Amino acid sequence: MAAVTFVSHDGEKHEAPLEEGLTLMQVAVDNGVPGIDGDCGGEAACGTCHVVVDAQWADTVGGSGPVEEEMLSMNPERQPTSRLSCQMNVSDGWDGLTVHLPEFQM
């Protein structure tokens, strides 16, 4: 089965199965990945599911949309490949995807 790896701020790796139809935030929450809060439940309205997509995957998963961008732009820790994982609809083609987690969610 396709899998994603979440890499925590201190380098710890959490692998989770990718299930099409879910968002990456849901995958993280369902699998108890620490460091993803998802306070607003997937509305791109809180910014607490922030991930930094591994550079080599950036084109495959795509960039942020306008509403998502409003939340990301307020984050002083945002990186060029930052995304809100609640706005990333999982695709089977993402097997092997790696995303990095910030030290804190804002």
Largest interatomic CA distance in the chain: 36
The number of beta carbons lying within 10 Å of the beta carbon of residue 41 is 12
37 binds another protein (CB under 8 A): yes
Contact with another protein (CB under 8 A) among 20, 30, 59, 70: 70
| Among residues 12, 15, 20, 43, the one that binds another protein under rule CB under 8 A | 43
Residue of 6, 24, 47, 64 interacting with another protein (CB under 8 A): 47
Which is it for the CA torsion 98, 99, 100, 104, positive or negative?
negative
Contact 51, 92 (CB under 8 A): no
Under the binding rule (CB under 8 A), the answer on residue 24 touching another protein is no
β partners of residue 59: none
Supply the minimum distance, in Å, between the C-beta of residue 76 and another protein: 4
Number of residues that bind another protein (CB under 8 A): 22
Q: Is 45 in the site for another protein (CB under 8 A)?
A: yes
